[in-house]
Amino acid sequence: MLTVSSRYLQLETQAHRGTGGVSAENRQLGFRPAFRDTETGQTYPSTFSDGRPAPFHILDGLPEPLVLARDRHGRISRVLGSIVAGFLRDGIFYTRAEAAALVGEGAEAIA
């Protein structure tokens, strides 16, 4: 079974740094970190475990049915492999690559 881990999210962020595919590089254009379940199409804003919006991708706020493992502190460490990190903007989900492409086109292209 494929899974997504906290470490995978860190590596993915490193890979997209400088492209517009990370929160710090696209927030000003209205992108908010989120996740999508590719099996159901359901999207989930990235939140802390208490429900507050997170300014970056964090697994802690995902619903329990998606959770496969927790660390010794109770934080989510792995989720289903059908979960992908991306962004919500005006109710539309964008993968990191899609967000990066739009950021590369400039704010006027997505205004």
Whether this prediction's pTM lies above 0.85 is answered by: yes
Average pLDDT over residues 97-107: 83
Q: What is the pLDDT of residues 77-93, one digit of tens each?
A: 999 999 999 999 999 99
pLDDT band at 24 (very low <50, low <70, confident <90, very high): confident
Q: Which tokens hold the place of 64? A: 């329990």
Residue 38 to residues 7, 66, 81, 82, 83: CA-CA distances in angstroms?
20, 12, 9, 5, 6
